Structure 1
Amino acid sequence: MKKLTIVFWVALAILLVFVVFGVAIPETFEAQSGALRGMISDNLGWYYLLAVTGFVVVCAFIIVSPYGKIKLGKPDDKPDYNYLTWFAMLFSAGMGIGLVFWGAAEPISHFMVDAPTAEAGSDSAILESMRYSFFHWGVHAWGIYAVVAMALAYFKFRKNAPGLISATLEPVMGKYSRGPVGHTVDIIAVTATVVGVAGTLGFGAVQINGGLAFLLGIGTNFTAQFLIIIAVTVLFMISAYTGLNRGIKILSNVNMILAFTLFFFLFIFGPTLFNLNLFTNTIGTYIQQLPSMSFRISPFDEDERAWIDGWTIFYWAWWISWAPFVGSFIARVSKGRTLREFVLGVLLVPSVVGFLWFSIFGGSAIFLETNGVAAISELATEEALFGVLDNYPLSAVMSVIAIMLIATFFITSADSGTFILAMQTTNGSLTPPKSVKLVWGLMLSITASILLFTGGLQALENAMIIAALPFSIIMILMAFSLIKALQIERKALDAEAAKKRQ
């Protein structure tokens, strides 16, 4: 434990206070977190929309600028992983549980229950439901991850800086990026990571419980979810102890196999033509209306504004709270790639996979609903996926595969999270002590349990929106810092090239 920094102790103390508060007075905790979430959504929705769209603009700038040729590492560094493994690791770490949880549930909710602007149940609501699902899970989400990952990978592998969030801010903060101010930055990043990952693990536990309830008729309650968290905690701690190149790499590939099995099954046996038409149409409207959706705040319509707060602002905050973890992980596995290659890969490939996923699972749910085959919209959110699978051949087998997929995504996310948290609290060590991984693994599970205990899914959403706010400010500084560092390096490279020509 000699490698531990003050960041470890302060972040752990803050989170323990959070846990004790949640256990001792859960009703007060739920009420106060809900009030704070409402205040943030009501007063700072505009800020989230501008900030997240700004991150996408930064990514687009990197792609088209001369900076895109700069490598995340030394000039002769080669990537550690081939494209297939790299994409698998991006996908499983970045969106696994969430994509499975919301793949059928979000489109059917926008269509039948809570349409953004159209009349619920109408054809317009179908098109709108898919477009906003693409919007919430597309380039905006991955733009958030890409900004954090780019900054971390650039300063770590090209400038030999510690793999810390604070180390990426030296160009804009100078000496203040070290010492108390830098420690504060890293503490914010660690606490946001714990809340973001724990919140997502909570979604996973709820959906595993929902799947077992749908298949076996067992109760959907906190006790069952807590037992699921305990079981999966044991599994992901075993995986964490095997190390990055063994545990996470193997599980990432298993995730991809299970995900593609489920995907291609529903692609073949589901309403294939309907889903492909829906995908094609939605791609067009998504691209066409991306600017207007990016800035839509509806200041004069309270119902539409409430929808934006409940969905878009929630998602932007979720991705931001996940960004320290996912960004650190993506940076760790992206050494040797150019900035242009990195941004294109991170921004586009997982987005397209997500679009296809929503088209197949969301489209199948909508098809069942519109044709009167099954009322998917009447199921609990966590049961929507299983309700869809129940209407196709081999439903029991595919539901078991779905539960296995959620469990492996759960393990991979928690496994990756323990590594990143241990790294961030041991001064960026790429080989953090296993005892530190154990502490953070337990902390993730305890935090997920407390959030479920104090308010279920609503408490998970509240915590992620609250945790995201301070880190969003750090992300803006990271973007400015990266651009400034790239400008300095480009000038140095140009001067060196001019000297060689003389």
Structure 2
Amino acid sequence: MNTVETPPSEVRTLRPVFLLAATLVAAFAILVTAFPSQSGVLLLQAQTWASRNVGWYYLLAMTLYLVFVVGVALSGYGNVKLGADHDEPEFSYLSWAGMLFAAGISITLFFFCVSEPLTHYLQPPQGGVGSGEASARQAMQLLFLHWGLHGWGVFALAAMALAYFAYRHNPPLALRSALYPLIGKRINGPIGYTVDALGIVATVFGIGADMGFGVLHLNAGLNTLLPVPHAPWVQVALIVLMMGAAITVAVSGVEKGVRLMSDINMLLAIALLLFMLFAGPTQYLLSTLMQNLGDYLGNVVGKSFDVYAYGGRTDWLGDWTVFYWAWWIGWAPFVGLFIARISRGRTLREFVFGVLLIPLGFTLAWLSIFGNSALDQVLHHGQEHLAQLAVDDPPTVLYALLESYPWSRAVIGVVVFVSFIFFVTSADSGTVVLSTLSSHGGVPEEDGPRWLRVFWGVMIALVTTGLLLAGSMDALKSAVVLASLPFSVVLLLMLWGLTRALGEESQRRKASQYSPVPLIGQSRHQRGWRQRITQAVHFPVRDEVYRFMDSEVRPAMEAVAAQLREQGLDVSTDFEPGQMTLEVDHGEQQVFRYQVVLQGYLTPSFAAQRFRNQRYYRAEVHLYEGGQDYELVGYSRQQIINDIIDQYERHLQFLHLTR
């Protein structure tokens, strides 16, 4: 893979992507704000059309995403690294797990953890008005379906595509890079830029929906604690206040302080979960958690394809499952980029299972404990009004539940505080990710320009405000379903691109087993046995390896490069202190890279006395895919030439197999 694009050394705006995405988002924000009533009607009609005509497609696509990532993890490709073969994870497993855990917490968990299961209880997808234990059990099955493996499967797919191509093949850390196996260099043209723009648009609406639900939730909490009305002007004021705080954080460089606050916030969230567990019917909540997990795992396959074709409420699928699948898709570039950045050096197997299972455990425990606490009040304590409140006024039902618990005002105050911090940190992260997706250059871990963060923060605020004015929850859901539809196709193309790229990994393994006929000169294993033993227990210092690279490696590379150029090939060499590189460009096909890198190590304890307490150095061979775990010190110039040609012939065999 050779994208030929040379990004700038510093981060700059990628104008085609930015202009296309900004135009689409700004046009929508202006129209929906200027004409809220008409926009609300049109959005609702569009969602009705989508749920009736492409609901089946959303269910099929989400299932394909999940099956694909699990299949990759269980296959032989599970050992492939997100990075070069010699890369090691930047973060310890515990730190990585902690960051994945943080990615699973969102303000919307507060909004839906009580309102959704009570709504499903009272208004199930099939049959009449729900009641009794059977309806409660079905409500929790649906809740787990919407927040379960499917959602994290789409996050895993997006993150896998971003990390695999950026860290293993070195194109930009961009969505379009995953399409290189399909369209080649055209990823750096209109097609690729459109893909990135669609990802940005989907992300804006995904984050906007999250912010919208968050604002409704916070307004209800403030109304419970203080004489703050539950009104549109209050919600607009909250959007301005919190997005202003998020933009300030994004451009001021105070992320460390906010990250500390976020860590404290997670501890408070865990404390809330434990409070609900032990202040409520503990045994009942633990039993229902086990029951919910069993029901979910036992029915997840059937529910993945259930479009209620043989009866049911016609609007239910669009209002819930289709909306959720579109929402997860809209968040995929945002969360996928975050997960990709922290996962370099992980194998695909540990990456997939980590992403699928680590955040999921906390999320399902949260939903089960809060959801079953509410259902317990309805089923066993005569609080049937809670279920009707979930239908009539969803943002308020969590607070109504908490008012039946001890220290209710203090607990509600903590919920509002935790929700506020989650809102600001999510919005801050969202603006940073959007600025990154609409820029290029620098290193993959570098964020986009600050002015872009301000711009996208303002756009998210405008979109959220317009959608709330256009119809509150219904408008939020409709916009997400429509904005995510084109990006769902992009994800399928990314899946296809990954499939082809991983197929090339398989061919590369076959090519590495190809043994070309040796040319003139001894191979390493034909040297005298005394020479081999001497070399094996020799631990050269840095200057010795420098001299070897300059006197033997460089002339060998120059000789091979000159001969390849005579054959009409495009060959480049680069000789830096401690790193020498020979590359052969094969146009659309993958470049051949033979690199010798100076690497230092601590001398092992078994070394002879004269070598102890010093570092020793190796001239290690790296190819395009990473380090090859052997070195050249002790090779003659002719043997180095033979090794370069051996590796080049293997590469040609690889190109033959993937032609």
TM-score (norm. length: structure 2): 0.73
Aligned-pair distance for 1:497? 4.7
Instruction: State the match for 1:350 in structure 2.
Output: 359
What residue is the counterpart of 1:432 in the other structure? 448
Among 115, 122, 125, the residue aligned to 1:105: 115
Letter paired with 1:60: V
More helix by share: 1
**Aligned residue in 1 for 2:416:** 403
Q: How many Å apart are 1:9 and its aligned residue?
A: 1.8
Report the secondary structure of 1:218's partner residue.
coil
Q: Is residue 66–residue 153 contact of structure 2 (8 Å, CA) maintained in 1?
A: yes
Q: Assess if the C-alpha contact under 8 Å between 1:118 and 1:125 holds in 2.
A: no
1 or 2, which has the higher strand percentage? 2
Instruction: Report the Cα distance in structure 2 between the residues aligned to 1:369 and 1:62, rounded to whole angstroms.
Output: 43
Q: Counterparts of 1:294 and 1:190 in 2: how far apart (Å)?
A: 27
Question: Which residue of structure 2 lines up, in the alignment, with residue 181 of structure 1?
Answer: 191
Counterpart Cα distance in 2 of 1:493 and 1:483: 16
**Distance in 2 separating the partners of 1:118 and 1:454:** 30
Whether 2:471 is the aligned partner of 1:455: answer yes
Shift of residue 255, structure 1, vs aligned partner: 3.3
Q: Cα distance 1:482–1:181, how it changes in 2: closer, same or farther (>3 A)?
A: same
Per the TM alignment, residue 91 of structure 1 is displaced from its structure 2 partner at its CA by: 4.2
Tell me the secondary structure at the aligned position of residue 13 of structure 2: coil
Q: Which residue of 2 aligns with 1:371?
A: 380
- Contact map agreement 1:163 1:428 (CA 8 A) in 2: no
* Separation in structure 1 between the aligned mates of residue 89 and residue 463 of structure 2, nearest angstrom: 35
Residues 1:422 and 2:435 are matched in the alignment: yes
The alpha-carbon deviation at position 206 of structure 1 amounts to 0.6
Partner of 2:561: none
What amino acid maps onto 1:263 in structure 2? L
1:226 equivalent among 221, 236, 252: 236
SS at match of 2:207: helix
SS in 2 for 1:432: coil
Taking the aligned partners of 1:270 and 1:409, their CA distance within structure 2 comes to 25
Measure the CA separation in 2 of the matches of 1:299 and 1:178. Answer: 43
8 Å CA contact retained: 2:202, 2:484: yes
Relative contact order higher in (CA < 8 Å, ≥ 6 apart): 1
Verify: 1:210 aligned to 2:232, yes or no: no
Question: What's 2:284 paired with?
Answer: 274
> 2 CA distance for matches of 1:111 and 1:268?
24
Q: 1:197 to 1:85 in 2, by over 3 A?
A: farther
Distance 1:248 1:88 in 2: 17
- C-alpha change, 1:121 and 1:151, in structure 2 (3 Å) is same
Is the CA contact (8 Å cut-off) linking 1:115 and 1:129 kept in structure 2?
Answer: no
| TM-score of the superposed pair, with normalisation by structure 1 | 0.95
Give 1:336 shift. Answer: 2.1
Residue of structure 1 equivalent to 2:151: 141
Pick which of 465-474 and 363-372 moved more.
363-372
Q: Out of 438, 452, 465, which is 2:481 matched to?
A: 465
- For residues 94 and 416 of structure 1, do their structure 2 counterparts lie closer, same or farther at Cα, with a shift above 3 Å needed? farther
Look up the equivalent residue of 1:101 and give its one-letter code: F
C-alpha offsets along residues 99-137 of structure 1, whole Å, 9 cap, x if unaligned?
121111111111124455575122110110111111110
The equivalences for 1:283-294 within 5 A come to: 283-294=293-304
Q: Distance in 2 between matches of 1:248 and 1:116?
A: 45
For 1:243 and 1:169, locate their aligned partners in 2 and report how far apart those are by CA, in whole Å.
Answer: 34
SS state of the match for residue 344, structure 1? helix
Query: Could you tell me which of 311, 314, 324 is aligned with 1:301?
Result: 311
* Aligned partner of 1:480 among 476, 491, 496: 496
**Percent same amino acid at aligned positions?**
36
1:329 aligns with 2:338: yes
Q: CA deviation at 1:498?
A: 5.4
Aligned to 1:316: 325
Q: Distance in 1 between matches of 2:276 and 2:60?
A: 37
- SS at the partner of 1:103? helix
**DSSP-derived class of the 1:152 partner:** helix
Measured after TM superposition, the shift of residue 249 of structure 1 is 4.1
22, 36, 39: which one aligns with 1:12? 22
CA distance in 1, matches of 2:306, 2:323: 14
Cα distance in 2, alignment partners of residues 47 and 248 from structure 1: 40
State the distance in 1 between where 2:480 and 2:457 align.
18
Contact 1:130–1:282 (CA under 8 A) maintained in structure 2: yes
Contact 1:110–1:116 (CA under 8 A) maintained in structure 2: no
Greater mean deviation of Cα atoms: 457-466 or 409-418:
409-418
Q: Structure 2: which amino acid aligns with 1:7?
A: V
Q: By how many angstroms is 1:54 displaced? A: 0.6
Q: Hey, what does 2:407 align to over in structure 1?
A: 394
Task: Give the counterpart of 1:381 among 366, 372, 394.
Answer: 394
Other-structure match for 1:67? 77
The alignment status of 1:341 with 2:334, answered yes or no, reads no
Please give the residue correspondences for 1:51-62 in structure 2 after superposition, counting only pairs within 5 Å.
Answer: 51-62=61-72
**2:590 is matched with which residue?**
none
1:51 shift after superposition? 0.6
1:139 deviates by: 0.2
Residues 90-169 of structure 1 aligned to structure 2 (within 5 Å)? 90-114=100-124, 116-117=126-127, 120-169=130-179
Q: Is the contact between residue 270 and residue 364 of structure 1 (CA under 8 Å) also seen in structure 2? A: yes
1:26 matched residue in structure 2: 36
Deviates more, 1:121-130 or 1:251-260: 251-260
Whether contact under 8 Å (1:164, 1:428) holds in the other structure is no
Q: Which moved more, 1:267-276 or 1:468-477?
A: 267-276
Q: Return the letter of the residue paired with 1:369.
A: V
Look up the SS of the partner of 2:196 in the other structure. Answer: helix
Per-residue CA deviation, residues 374-417 of structure 1 (Å, 9 max, x unaligned), is 33223321112212211111111111111122112211211111
Deviation digits for residues 13-58 of structure 1 (CA, Å, limit 9, x no counterpart): 2211112111221111111111111111100111111110011100
Equivalent AA in structure 2 for residue 408 of structure 1: I
In 2, the alpha carbon distance for the partners of 1:472 and 1:171 equals 19
State how far apart, in whole Å, the 2-side matches of 1:491 and 1:249 are: 44
Q: Is the contact between residue 250 and residue 428 of structure 2 (CA under 8 Å) also seen in structure 1?
A: yes
Q: Give matches, 1:186-265, under 5 Å.
A: 186-241=196-251, 246=256, 249-265=259-275
Moved more, 114-123 or 184-193: 114-123
C-alpha distance in 2 between matches for 1:248 and 1:496? 48
**Distance apart, 1:191 and its partner CA:** 0.9
The alpha-carbon distance between structure 1 residues 104 and 471, as it changes in their structure 2 partners (threshold 3 A), is same
Query: Structure 2 stretches of 5 or more lacking a match?
Result: 1-10, 516-627, 631-645, 647-659
Structure 1 spans left out of the alignment, 5+ residues: none
Distance in 1, Cα, partners of 2:117 & 2:210: 19
Q: Which has the larger radius of gyration?
A: 2
Contact 1:136 1:315 in 2 (8 A): yes
**Residue in 2 that maps onto 1:444:** 460
Q: Is the 8 A contact 1:85 1:249 kept in 2?
A: no
Moved more, 234-243 or 309-318: 234-243
CA pair 78-124 structure 1, distance change in 2 beyond 3 A: same
Query: How far is the alpha carbon of 1:302 from its aligned partner?
Result: 4.3
- Structure 1 residue 356: deviation in Å? 0.6
Q: For 2:80 and 2:264, how far apart are their aligned partners in 1? A: 33
> Aligned with 2:447: secondary structure?
coil
- 1:489 lines up with 2:505 in the alignment: yes
Q: Residues 455 and 433 from structure 1, CA distance in 2 versus in 1: closer, same or farther, beyond 3 angstroms?
A: same
CA distance in 1: counterparts of 2:79 and 2:35, whole angstroms: 54
